[in-house]
């Protein structure tokens, strides 16, 4: 456990150093800076280890070198903490009473759920098929010196299906193996728990920025007490499967993009691009999300026609480069998805299975035993917010991104039914995984589209930080 904590501190140090190099001492909320730095550090480690594996280097020395660099970055940040404006304690004067009250309420409300999730995630070994056979097995290939990864993943006798899945989680687990010196699935689950907790904190802070800490606390409790998030054996927060990490990256890319459209701080757009890039490396569905993210961002650029944004939008090259890089790696692996490449005849037959699929989806999403009260509150509020903001592209664009992603999953399920006829199997096993991807971001957008507090906060930030405000209407021609 101490070595795993050291590894995650190095993630934080790597990210903090990267943010300082890229953006200097940009005025930025400290809680978002820390969470962004943590996930940016993980992303940097994953990309570097991807390259090392391609060069047939899987020695633990690489991991320890990255850890040392991250810890040096963390020490540098701590040495300069007094010069970093987001950490000035003077800004918190007069707010201690409310802060302690929120913390106390959070402890009372969330302690049972956090205890249960911690117990199930850290104290119970993974016995489900996918985490053990996909992610952990590949991580062991890397750890035990099977650095000729093309041989390891092309040999059908040595690995099961889905040989073309991305390597984000296997490399994340492999790095934990390297730091503790043994390939122990049970010992590395504490690192997954830290990763998940940082994501839930991000979820809480994104909502509290729009609607306050009390609403954010209520939304977080809805998620933690939802059976699909707390008990599902395949994709919940209590397993090391990749669906929950993907839901965090979808949330992060959407939340930071929304912050950027309001605050116009480049660091927010970098965060959104980094999260979309991480999604590409996590799962095949993450590639779909990254493509949607890139397409809608380019649409925003084309509509706004703001010449002053060109330098900031250079960060859009990050997910594009990751997409190209992963495509080149994946081209060497066999096509092994559940969905075969669709034919024109199958595409024209989609409308025949659409009514059956829609009825099954609606029936499944309103099962209290699976989702708790989440859909009863989230879906109506999301629809109302969508209608209210039909002319407000700042809130409309992220909502359309989520709806497009949901539509792509719906089409995928229809193709599975047409090609394999295993409708009941995929509804029982895979449905929760695909919906979990968008639950966090849907709750966040449902809150954001029905509140206006954040706009007022941004107006004050503009005056304090001298951030230029520009016309963000669709017909704007000038900055």
Instruction: Judge residue 90's burial from the number of C-beta atoms within 10 Å of its C-beta, 0-12 exposed, 13-18 middle, 19 or more buried.
Output: exposed
Angle at CA of residue 319, ends 51 and 38, nearest 5°: 70
pLDDT tens by residue, 385-402? 888 878 777 778 888 888
Judge whether residue 162 has pLDDT over 50. yes
The reply to whether 341 falls in a domain is: yes
- Choose the weakest-confidence range: 32-46, 124-138, 166-180: 124-138
Q: What is the pLDDT of residue 308?
A: 53
The reply to whether 157 falls in a domain is: yes
Instruction: Report how far residue 77's alpha carbon sits from residue 20's, in angstroms, rounded to the nearest whole number.
Output: 9
Crossing angle of helices 350-365/393-420, nearest 10°?
110
Q: How many other C-beta atoms lie within 10 A of the C-beta of residue 200?
A: 21
Instruction: Report how far residue 409's alpha carbon sits from residue 442's, in angstroms, rounded to the nearest whole number.
Output: 15
The reply to whether 226 falls in a domain is: yes
DSSP string, 11-59: HHHHHHHHHHHHHTT----HHHHHHHHHHHHHHHHHHHHHHHHHTT---
Q: What is the pLDDT of residue 37?
A: 92
pLDDT: which is higher, 339 or 465: 339
| End-to-end Cα separation, the chain, in angstroms | 51
The reply to whether 122 falls in a domain is: yes
pLDDT tens by residue, 414-425? 777 777 766 666
Contact between residue 135 and residue 177 where contact means Cβ atoms under 8 Å apart: no
The reply to whether 397 falls in a domain is: yes
The reply to whether 476 falls in a domain is: no
The reply to whether 329 falls in a domain is: yes
DSSP letter assigned to residue 343: P
Q: What is the pLDDT of residue 76?
A: 84
Q: CA dist 250 to 192, 254, 356, 425, Å?
A: 18, 6, 28, 26
The dihedral region occupied by 160, where left means phi > 0, alpha psi between -120 and 50, and beta the remainder, is beta
* Domain tally, the chain: 1
Contact between residue 45 and residue 14 where contact means Cβ atoms under 8 Å apart: yes
The reply to whether 93 falls in a domain is: no
- Choose the weakest-confidence range: 56-65, 176-185, 300-309, 359-368: 300-309
When pLDDT is cut at 50, 70 and 90, the band that residue 430 belongs to is: low
Structural domain of 15: 2-82+105-465
Q: Minimal CA–CA distance to 55: which of 150, 140, 174, 154?
A: 150
Q: What is the pLDDT of residue 335?
A: 59
Overall average pLDDT of the 300-317 stretch: 70
- Choose the weakest-confidence range: 22-26, 62-66, 151-155, 241-245: 151-155
By percentage, how much of the chain surpasses pLDDT 70?
72
Overall average pLDDT of the 295-317 stretch: 73
Question: 53 φ, ψ to 5°?
Answer: -65, -40
Overall average pLDDT of the 155-160 stretch: 51
Contact between residue 278 and residue 249 where contact means Cβ atoms under 8 Å apart: yes
Instruction: Report how far residue 335's alpha carbon sits from residue 247's, in angstroms, rounded to the nearest whole number.
Output: 24
DSSP letter assigned to residue 139: H
| pLDDT averaged over every residue in the chain | 76
Highest mean pLDDT among 254-268, 331-345, 423-437: 254-268
pLDDT tens by residue, 8-46? 999 998 998 888 888 877 778 888 989 999 999 999 999
Q: Which two tokens stand for residue 16?
A: 């903090």
């Amino acid at each position: 456990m101490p070595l795993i904590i050291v590894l995650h501190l190095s993630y934080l140090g790597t990210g903090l150093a990267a943010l300082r190099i890229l953006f200097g001492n940009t005025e930025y909320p400290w809680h978002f800076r820390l969470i962004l730095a943590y996930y940016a550090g993980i992303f940097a480690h994953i990309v570097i280890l991807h390259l090392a594996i391609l060069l047939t280097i899987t020695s633990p020395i690489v991991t320890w070198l990255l850890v040392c660099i991250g810890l040096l970055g963390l020490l540098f940040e701590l040495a300069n903490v007094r010069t970093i404006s987001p950490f000035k304690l003077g800004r918190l004067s007069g707010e201690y009473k409310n802060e302690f009250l929120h913390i106390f309420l959070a402890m009372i409300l969330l302690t049972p759920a956090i205890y249960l999730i911690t117990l199930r995630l850290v104290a119970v070994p993974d016995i489900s098929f996918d985490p053990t056979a996909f992610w952990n097995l590949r991580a062991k290939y890397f750890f035990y010196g099977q650095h000729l990864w093309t041989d390891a993943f092309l040999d059908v006798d040595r690995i099961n299906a889905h040989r073309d899945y991305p390597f984000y989680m296997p490399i994340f687990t492999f790095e934990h193996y390297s730091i503790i010196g043994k390939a122990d699935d049970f010992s590395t689950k504490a690192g997954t728990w830290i990763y998940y907790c940082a994501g839930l904190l991000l979820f809480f802070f994104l909502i509290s920025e729009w609607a306050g800490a009390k609403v954010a606390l209520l939304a977080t409790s809805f998620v933690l007490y939802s059976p699909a998030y707390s008990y599902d054996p395949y994709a919940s927060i209590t397993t090391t499967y990749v669906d929950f990490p993907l839901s965090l990256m979808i949330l992060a890319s959407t939340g930071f993009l929304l912050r950027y459209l309001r605050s116009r701080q480049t660091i927010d757009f970098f965060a959104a691009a980094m999260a979309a890039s991480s999604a590409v490396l996590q799962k095949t569905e993450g590639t779909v999300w990254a493509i949607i993210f890139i397409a809608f961002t380019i649409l925003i650029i084309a509509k706004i026609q703001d010449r002053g944004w060109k330098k900031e939008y250079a960060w859009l090259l990050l997910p594009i480069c990751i997409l190209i890089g992963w495509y080149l790696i994946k081209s060497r692996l066999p096509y092994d998805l559940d969905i075969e490449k669709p034919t024109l005849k199958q595409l024209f037959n989609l409308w025949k299975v659409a009514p059956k699929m829609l009825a099954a989806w609606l029936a499944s999403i309103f099962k209290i035993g699976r989702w708790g009260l989440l859909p009863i509150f989230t879906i109506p509020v999301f629809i109302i917010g969508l209608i209210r903001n039909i002319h407000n592209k700042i809130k409309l664009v992220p909502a359309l991104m989520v709806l497009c992603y949901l539509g792509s999953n719906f089409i995928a399920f229809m193709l599975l039914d047409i090609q394999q006829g295993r409708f009941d199997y995929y509804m029982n096993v895979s449905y929760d995984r695909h919906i979990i991807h968008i639950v966090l971001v849907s709750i966040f957008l449902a809150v954001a589209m029905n509140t206006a507090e954040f706009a007022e906060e941004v107006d004050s930030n503009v005056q304090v930080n001298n951030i230029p405000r520009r016309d963000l209407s669709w017909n704007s021609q000038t900055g």
